[in-house]
Structure 1
Amino acid sequence: MSPNVKFEVVNFGEAERRLAAAPAEGERPITLIAFVGAKLALGGETSTILRDAEPQIARAAAAAKFAGKRGTSLDLYAPAGLDGVGRLLMIGVGPAGDGDNGGASPERFDDYLGLGGQLAARLGQGANAIALFDVPEPPADASAAAGQLALGATLRAYKFDLYRTKKKKDDPEREGASEIALAVAEPEAARAAVDGALGLAEGVVIARDLVNEPANVLYPEEFARRAAKLADLGVEVEILDVPTLQTLGFRALLGVGQGSAHPSRVVVLRWNGAAPDTQPVAFVGKGVCFDTGGISIKPAASMEDMKGDMAGAAAVTGLMHALAVRKAKANVIGVLGLVENMPSGEAQRPGDIVTSLSGQTIEIINTDAEGRLVLADALWYVKDKFKPAFIIDLATLTGAILVALGQEHAGLFSNNDELAGRILEAGKATGEKLWRLPMGPAYDKLIESKFADMKNTGGRHAGSITAAQFLERFVDKTPWAHLDIAGTGMGSPASDTNQSWASGWGVRLLDRLVKDCYESA
């Protein structure tokens, strides 16, 4: 979907010139945004620009009991002393309360990300704004902070209203994109940071759009067509159809989709940003475009949410977009396993035994434990064909992870401590948090089968762990991590940077992982 906020980076001199100029006839009035610290402290540039309005600001702040605390704001309309400004929006960046040692901090990634979200929420849509990025206690890297501000604002402004035909014409939040001129001290560096942040935001928005789409619109073939648009950015795209998958031996994946009228697909995305002999890294996404549970059908309540059971594949698609936009200096493989799990006369049954691409046999105990079957073939294919430095899979895999972690953390499972540690650090840096859970032989025994090499569920106990144990059997000794995002990829709690049902979770996390640890100089 089109962005609801657009950024331009200017210097403070240009901001002053625009504020001094008389608005053209028919032009939207300017909204001036200023960031305010404790006790109404202002940055030097901001203080100069607002000097003629300071008496009114002081009176309004006293009346509204606005003291510049983080998370608060003050609105003044047609402020005296600021000709041409229709609205002055002051956003607090000072300490939020007792025990809070300061305002926005350069050490905390999410401070400026969240600040951008708060800005977008208070600004609304359709505004013509100038934002004075001049906080009272400047961050160590003001340009990077400006990029995070732009990222947070763009993500917060996102709306998925494609199918709403009765939109209120008088709703100010639906008057088109807000245009923000971000005034900074060093425009060139800030412009590069903002451009990079907006490319990342595009990747998150792509993931959100995919997860929000209804399943009658986004089925495997359509998902594959949308992913194929990444070719416009230089990503190599290969789409494997059912005959090809049958020839290759993707029997576990195809078993999941055999009950659906929509044929399955596997999409292979390749970004070649490093030297040809550089070992690639790989990301695999579960893409169950709708999950009824198959013959082991789910309860009707909330089944509509199963349109989001492809959030892992959506995140991989968004990640590949973000990497390509910023021309990441890494070789990256993205694989999407796209199926629809439906009950029909041709559907897979409990008790069936399938032979996976790896040659290992799987007894189907529950057809609703389908995502691990999709991933099993996809993981083996990636491991065997591309021999990556690591594989990370993302999947809305188990309800058990919601019981364990709620929606605050995704579950992390790994056979490699170094990889797991790097993912956890990227999670801390981006605010997309994870919690590592244990694995081991005792859990692995729970998926042993009397009739095949393994069964596709280990029962109620340790459900997320036994699912991870299942996946580990398809990576051999390749460093691997499994991210169970059932609690974070859809049905997202509202936050400063997201008001959407779909979060796009994982795009920022994995982009940061690649950037910090796997790109060549």
Structure 2
Amino acid sequence: MLNIRLSTTGGAPAALALPVSPDGLVPVEAPVAGAIAAEAAAFVEDADHSGAAGAVQVLPRPQDRPRRLLLVGIGAGTEADWRSAGAALYRAAVREPALSVALPGSVEPAALRGLAEGMLLAGYRFRLAAEKADGGPALRRVTVLVDAPERFETALGVANAVASATYLARDLTNMPSQEKSPAWFAARVAREANRLSGLKLRVREPRELAEEGFGGILAVGGGSPRGPRLVELGWRPRGARRHVVLVGKGITFDSGGISIKPRDGMKLMRKDMGGAAAIIAATLGAAALNLPVRVTALAPLAENMPSGSAYRPGDVVRHYGGRTSEILNTDAEGRIVLADALAYAVRRLNPDLLVDLATLTGANAVALGKRTAALYSDNDELAGELTAAASAAGERMWRMPLTDDYLESLASDVADAANVGDGGAGSVVAALFLREFTGVARDRWAHLDMSAPSWIETNEGELVKGATGWGVRTLLRWLESVGEQS
């Protein structure tokens, strides 16, 4: 991961970044030679730099130091603007061995957090191919020039922790499924949890799942020789007064099962555990940041495959706690494993707040496009807090209706409900199906359908082609606020 440090002096960097607002070059506190500042100001004016957040113009100076000036737009100077600036700077300086960035003296620590998160997240790479000698980025070190480094140390530490957690979620989601079995995922969580103190891990294997009645997880994972797991990861700091339970869909590969997907629908199904990746990474991040809130992450893991032992359309699955589901479509498997985990959370963990994340439906993308998750909750306060956290983190969600009228489409003659409806509104119906498993926690539950924003096809801002780690940043912002309320 990129090494970002704070300093009052920058020496003679090969590349120096200076901030630009729509009004022109922004004065900085760091010692920048007057001649350099005057040269940069003249260039900005002559080049008609917009100052928009993330806009970068480069002034080459091959015979001088620094050799390049990077004039980066910071817009109105919000944290989000600085995040855009950081991502753009990383890409503009990726071939430099080192970069110095001068900040205005008036900025708050939030600006540094935005800048650092943008640079760190844009610098993520996932490669399994052998690297060529010149194939990787050269940029390894960034020096941020500020007048009082101690004022920004906490913000930089938070940015590093958030980026590290997001890296983990991206790594888990990007990993090809021939490697990423439920057992592999559980082992990776164990390895990460061992690096931090105060975490408790339990992994239920198929025998324990059967003994305790997790029929949904067992049904979905029954078609694969690589058996399912339920990962339960807990962070319980001393004095925590509120307990948040996070549940994440963990389908390590989704063929659709007997209701098999076409090739185009299957080729990216290694990402179908993006929800599990996000809630595990956020819980590890909460521990790394020592947030004063109790967090339990539940990741039901299964590989949905067709075989002689796979569950079938027409089967009736008995979930944890006894509720039953008639299977009309084995490709609607995410809600089946989530149902077990939600029921367990309510019956055994007594959460103050319950949130699930899932790459659940393609209908989410039809409704909201590829950058926005769908939010469902009957709790206005919880929905507002999650939406605000997403906005602050640079992720997006939109609250959708939980309309009881659609419940009748899930009616079954042989079970408590069918696992799919027959009246459209696929994302809404999936949320309603899950709500029936939240019991007494229904009034403090939220569901995030994040299939579309979990993956991106091109580099964009702080996002890198592939898995985005969507939800980690939102959850950590939200958990920060929950801890503050305790």
**TM-score over 0.5 for the alignment?**
yes
Aligned to 1:353: 316
2:408 is equivalent to residue 456 of structure 1 = no
1:398 partner SS: coil
Aligned to 1:25: none
Cα distance in 1, alignment partners of residues 29 and 236 from structure 2: 44
Aligned to 1:34: 18
2:364 partner SS: helix
Aligned to 1:157: 123
Aligned to 1:297: 260
Aligned to 2:433: 470
Cα distance in 2, alignment partners of residues 411 and 312 from structure 1: 13
Aligned to 2:72: 91
Amino acid at match of 1:145: A
The answer for unaligned runs of 5 or more in structure 1 is 20-28, 94-102
Amino acid at match of 1:273: P
Query: Is the contact made by 2:406 and 2:423 (CA closer than 8 Å) also made in structure 1?
Result: no
- Out of 60, 63, 77, the residue aligned to residue 105 of structure 1 is 77
Cα distance in 1, alignment partners of residues 259 and 340 from structure 2: 21
Question: How far off is 1:450 after superposition?
Answer: 0.9
The alignment's TM-score, normalised by the length of structure 2, stands at 0.94
Aligned to 1:22: none
The answer for unaligned runs of 5 or more in structure 2 is none
Aligned to 1:490: 455
Cα distance in 2, alignment partners of residues 175 and 463 from structure 1: 42
Change (3 A) 1:39 1:384: closer
Of 414-423 and 372-381, the range deviating more from structure 2: 414-423
- Out of 135, 143, 146, the residue aligned to residue 181 of structure 1 is 143
Question: How far off is 1:44 after superposition?
Answer: 4.3
Query: What does 1:314-325 correspond to in 2, within 5 Å?
Result: 314-325=277-288
Deviations 1:420-452 (A, max 9, x none): 121112122222111111113311111110111
Deviations 1:386-408 (A, max 9, x none): 10101100000011111111113
Query: Is the contact made by 1:492 and 1:503 (CA closer than 8 Å) also made in structure 2?
Result: no
- Out of 177, 186, 203, the residue aligned to residue 215 of structure 1 is 177
Deviations 1:340-362 (A, max 9, x none): 00000110010011111121111
Cα distance in 2, alignment partners of residues 296 and 246 from structure 1: 24
- Out of 101, 124, 129, the residue aligned to residue 131 of structure 1 is 101
Aligned to 2:33: 50
- Out of 269, 273, 277, the residue aligned to residue 237 of structure 2 is 273
Aligned to 1:330: 293
1:488 partner SS: helix
Question: How far off is 1:366 after superposition?
Answer: 0.4
- Out of 136, 146, 165, the residue aligned to residue 203 of structure 1 is 165
Aligned to 1:6: 3
2:152 partner SS: helix
Cα distance in 2, alignment partners of residues 61 and 436 from structure 1: 42
- Out of 196, 203, 218, the residue aligned to residue 239 of structure 1 is 203
Change (3 A) 1:333 1:434: same
Question: How far off is 1:156 after superposition?
Answer: 0.6
Deviations 1:179-234 (A, max 9, x none): 01111122112111101111011011100111111001111000001111213212
Cα distance in 2, alignment partners of residues 307 and 491 from structure 1: 14
Change (3 A) 1:53 1:477: same
2:58 is equivalent to residue 75 of structure 1 = yes
Query: Is the contact made by 2:54 and 2:86 (CA closer than 8 Å) also made in structure 1?
Result: no
Query: Is the contact made by 2:25 and 2:41 (CA closer than 8 Å) also made in structure 1?
Result: no
Change (3 A) 1:39 1:50: farther
Amino acid at match of 1:35: P
Question: How far off is 1:467 after superposition?
Answer: 0.7
Cα distance in 2, alignment partners of residues 381 and 231 from structure 1: 25
Cα distance in 2, alignment partners of residues 433 and 70 from structure 1: 18
The alignment's TM-score, normalised by the length of structure 1, stands at 0.88
Aligned to 2:214: 250
Change (3 A) 1:359 1:32: same
Question: How far off is 1:66 after superposition?
Answer: 3.9
Question: How far off is 1:37 after superposition?
Answer: 2.9
Cα distance in 2, alignment partners of residues 291 and 44 from structure 1: 52
Question: How far off is 1:79 after superposition?
Answer: 5.8
Change (3 A) 1:449 1:493: farther
Amino acid at match of 1:155: L
Query: Is the contact made by 2:317 and 2:325 (CA closer than 8 Å) also made in structure 1?
Result: yes
1:477 partner SS: helix
2:305 is equivalent to residue 342 of structure 1 = yes
2:29 partner SS: helix
Question: How far off is 1:144 after superposition?
Answer: 1.9
User: RMSD of the TM alignment (CA)?
Assistant: 2.0
Amino acid at match of 1:158: Y
Cα distance in 1, alignment partners of residues 431 and 23 from structure 2: 52
Aligned to 1:228: 190
